[in-house]
Amino acid sequence: MTAARTIAVWPSEVTAPFDDLYDALDSLLPEHHLDAFDDLDGLPDVLSERSPEAVVLVIDPGSVTSIGDRTIATVLATLGDHPDVSIAVIAGDGYLGTDGVTDASCLLGAMAVSGVRSLALRRHRPGRSNVFCVPQSAYDTSTSLRGPIAQPTETVDVANALAFLLDETGRYVSGDVLYVNGGRHLFSSHTA
């Protein structure tokens, strides 16, 4: 079996909203031999055994009360010991300030951003660290929250952004926050 170049870490608590992201990524990055994985406790062994080039951590902000901060803390601490592995975190953009988003969701989003920037800051860590912030409307179609672009964020939009950064095309992008949210971040001073 070919070793996976990219592992999608998919905590078991995360459910439906991004289920098709894995398939979209698989078609955009066929050479990456994407593997899904949901056993966080086993992550250190998996990283040692498979030596992936990148890990995609998918967080569903709607599930943060069950995931808590354990996911971010565990994965980032583990990846800190693997300097060659790039990490991409898909988080919610609720931390920018949005009515109706839970405190836990805000904290987790902020933690994801600070965590990957901290990893990116490590000198001579060839692996890159980036966050993709997606709006609540991407997983909760009942909300009408929109950015300047009225078009809702869809799975393929997140996959396209991930494909750009995980591929060679994004090899010099690290410590960045990419807002795949129709420009909703423009309403927040956090992003200035």
The reply to whether 170 sits near another protein by the rule CB under 8 A is yes
Nearer to another protein, 46 or 158 (CB): 158
Give min distance, CB of 133 to another protein, in A: 10
Q: How far is CA 150 from CA 18, 132, 144, 153, in A?
A: 20, 19, 10, 9
CA dihedral sign, ordered 65, 98, 110, 60 = positive
Provide the residue type at 159 as one letter: A
The reply to whether 100 sits near another protein by the rule CB under 8 A is no
Helix axes 70-80, 103-121, angle to 10 degrees: 10
Number of residues that bind another protein (CB under 8 A): 40
Residue in 94, 101, 106, 125 binding another protein, rule: CB under 8 A:
125
Stretch that binds another protein, among 2-10, 15-23, 97-105, 144-152 (CB under 8 A): 144-152
Q: Which residues pair with 10 in a beta bridge?
A: none
| Helix, strand and coil percent figures for the chain, each rounded to 5 | 45, 15, 40
The reply to whether 80 sits near another protein by the rule CB under 8 A is no
The reply to whether 157 sits near another protein by the rule CB under 8 A is yes
The reply to whether 136 sits near another protein by the rule CB under 8 A is no
Give min distance, CB of 93 to another protein, in A: 12
Binders in 172-191 for another protein, by CB under 8 A: 172-176, 178-183, 185-186
Nearer to another protein, 8 or 180 (CB): 180
Contact yes or no for 105/66 (Cβ under 8 A): no
CA 166 – CA 170 distance, rounded (Å):
6
